[in-house]
Amino acid sequence: MSYNVGDLVAEFLSAINVDTVFGIVSVHNIPMLDGIGRRNTIRFVMARGEAGASHMADGYARTTGKLGVLFSSTGPGAANAVPGLVEAGFAASPVLHITGQTGTKFIGRGMGTAHEVPDQIGMLRSVSKTAFQILSAQQALGILTQAAVTALSAPRGPVSVEIPIDVQRTAIARPAALDTLELILPPPLVPSEAALDALAEHVRKAKRPILWLGAGAREAAAPARKLLDLGFGMVTSWAGRGTIEEDHPRNLGGLNGNGAPAVQAFYAQSDLMLVAASRLRGHETAEFSLKLPANLVQIDIDPTAEGRTYACTMFVNGDVTLVLEGLAKRLAGWAPEPGYQDAFAAMKRQARADFAATMGPYATFPADLRAALPRDTVWARDITINHSTWGNRLFDLYGPRDSVYPIGAAIGAGLGLGIGAAIGAPGRRTVMMTGDGGFFLTIAELWTAVQDKVDITILVMNDRGYGVIKHIQNALYGERNFFADLTGPEFSKLADLAGIPYFKVDRAEDFGPTVAAAGKAPGPSLVEVDMTAIGTFPPYAPYDKKRS
């Protein structure tokens, strides 16, 4: 049997240690997937739609730190993958998207070939870190290598590669370079000694410092812990959670100020905030209205991040781990003012209690669920009321890759993200919390979880509508809840149809134990929380006060 570019793609992925890919077989990717199938060294997870597959590749990349690989069809299929590529961009996830294309002689000619869309590569460039087009067999190995390196290089992100069907079928000699192939990533950006000296001198003057860690600091746990041991308090972005375990008395985690008056008051008394690899996104800072300490120092590998959202008094360009290591070394012997550490811990207790008190009948949910689940549980979420309140702020996380959620705040990504995360974390249980509205958007992926026997508990917070939208409508649009109520299936029958265990919660006190019980058996399970029985979730900031 002759060797072709499709075989090269399959061997390339194995050579760079990819063992799992996600996608859908299509007329325009058969040669590549045939190469994968015949070699049988890579697990191919058969999604039910490209949107689900793209979110799975992203979720897998987040829990493993490795390359997530997605195969899509051409044209409409590639377009269906766009939501996942956009979300991977928000999350800086290293996702390699490989798609087909019509034959090279037809590209861009508008001749109506199957799946043809105008400027597919332009569409993919607009939603990826970059995109490559392979127009000859001789280019294939080099471009694939460059694409993978680009996806994995800081700042990481999704990269697309388009390979026309005739190129995939082209017979070639097997490249000997596949036997010794290595991805050579650029080294970490080393900060200058002068910059580190200036940073240390600046920080030494602080008496009440706070460290804010973003997702880009996920690998910087060791030096961040040294700063915490010296006496810093800390918070994280919602995407940066778990870098330091959140049961540490001076780690607020995702309770970083928005909707937490006690935290905001403490910020006003702080004389330094050290922001490490975080965008300080508008979604978390109430569109930048959250008042952070005026003395704000920013560390980022991207020089264009300086002052992008909040003005900073100092900016250090470099790899965040190296910067924090250099800073911690230079701060030996420094300490905050007496009593600061105890004050921070007391503020944390107060802020958490205050926030829980706003949640009505759901006040016990985070503590009860945390007590019922293993410490290494992967906590995946869709955008829903429970996620945006306690799921992001009060449910403690203990590892930097334990948290997976749609950073772009779009509903519907949760199930795909959760399935990919679970596949990337074998031996651990993944709990994926979604609302009924978000679940319906990709409900077909339930059968992906069934077919692949994925260890995931799907937790559906069922309020029979778009709860977040209703809060906005009630606060800003005269309580006119247009188009916000949903009719859906009976979840018990849905679980029966899928052949998976089903559990129902209609009392708050049963929540934690029921979710724990649902995770005892291997494979997927479904838990429905009947929010109409438990009670309406109270509006949360900024929708907790009606506006004129």
Same domain, 335 and 375: no
3-class DSSP assignment, residue 482 = coil
Q: Has residue 388 got a pLDDT over 60?
A: yes
- Domain that residue 19 falls in: 5-180
Cβ-Cβ contacts under 8 Å for 392 (sequence gap 6 or more): 238, 241, 254, 381, 405
Same domain, 126 and 216: no
- The answer to whether residue 187 is domain-embedded is no
Q: Has residue 547 got a pLDDT over 60?
A: no
Among 292, 327, 351, the domain boundary falls at 351
Same domain, 217 and 362: no
Burial (CB count <10 Å: 0-12, 13-18, 19+), residue 432: buried
* Terminal CA-CA length for the chain: 73
Q: Has residue 106 got a pLDDT over 90?
A: no
- The answer to whether residue 459 is domain-embedded is yes
Q: 525 forms bridges with which residues in the sheet?
A: 457
Q: pLDDT tens, 21-62?
A: 999 999 899 999 999 999 999 999 999 999 999 999 999 999
Could you tell me the sign of the dihedral formed by the alpha carbons of 218, 222, 223, 226, in that order? positive
Say how many domains are in the chain: 3
- The answer to whether residue 546 is domain-embedded is no
Question: What are the CA-CA distances from residue 178 to residues 31, 175, 276 (Å)?
Answer: 18, 6, 38
Among 146, 180, 214, the domain boundary falls at 180
Same domain, 15 and 113: yes
How far apart (Å, rounded) are the C-alpha atoms in residues 417 and 481?
29
Look up the CATH number of the domain holding residue 278: 3.40.50.1220
- The answer to whether residue 545 is domain-embedded is no
Residue 103: per-residue pLDDT: 72
- The answer to whether residue 544 is domain-embedded is no
Amino acid found at 522 = P
Look up the CATH number of the domain holding residue 19: 3.40.50.970
pLDDT band at 6 (very low <50, low <70, confident <90, very high): very high
Check: CB of residue 237 under 8 Å from CB of residue 278. yes
- The answer to whether residue 540 is domain-embedded is no
Regarding beta strands 502-505 and 233-236, do their DSSP bridges make them parallel or antiparallel, or are they unpaired?
A: unpaired
Residue 448 DSSP code: H
Only one residue has tokens 């700063």, namely 227
Taking alpha carbons only, the member of 159, 83, 78, 92 closest to residue 123 is 78
Same domain, 121 and 58: yes
The 3-state secondary structure of 311-338 reads CCCEEEECCHHHHHHHHHHHCCCCCCCC
Q: 435 forms bridges with which residues in the sheet?
A: 461
pLDDT band at 101 (very low <50, low <70, confident <90, very high): confident
pTM recorded for the entire structure: 0.96
Amino acid found at 187 = P
3-class DSSP assignment, residue 270 = coil
Q: pLDDT tens, 417-471?
A: 999 999 999 999 999 999 999 999 999 999 999 999 999 999 999 999 999 899 9
Same domain, 238 and 346: yes
Same domain, 123 and 233: no
Check: CB of residue 358 under 8 Å from CB of residue 540. yes
Same domain, 246 and 343: yes
Same domain, 199 and 340: yes
Among 334, 351, 368, the domain boundary falls at 351
Q: pLDDT tens, 170-196?
A: 999 999 999 999 999 999 999 999 999
The H or E element that residue 498 is part of is helix 491-498
CA atoms within 13 A on the CB side of 108: 7
- The answer to whether residue 201 is domain-embedded is yes
Check: CB of residue 86 under 8 Å from CB of residue 58. no
Residue 366: per-residue pLDDT: 98
Cite the beta strand spans of 73-189 per DSSP E.
95-101, 130-133, 159-164
Helix axes of 193-204 and 320-330: crossing angle, nearest 10 degrees? 60
Residue 548: per-residue pLDDT: 37
- The answer to whether residue 542 is domain-embedded is no
Same domain, 23 and 171: yes
Same domain, 166 and 268: no
Same domain, 19 and 142: yes
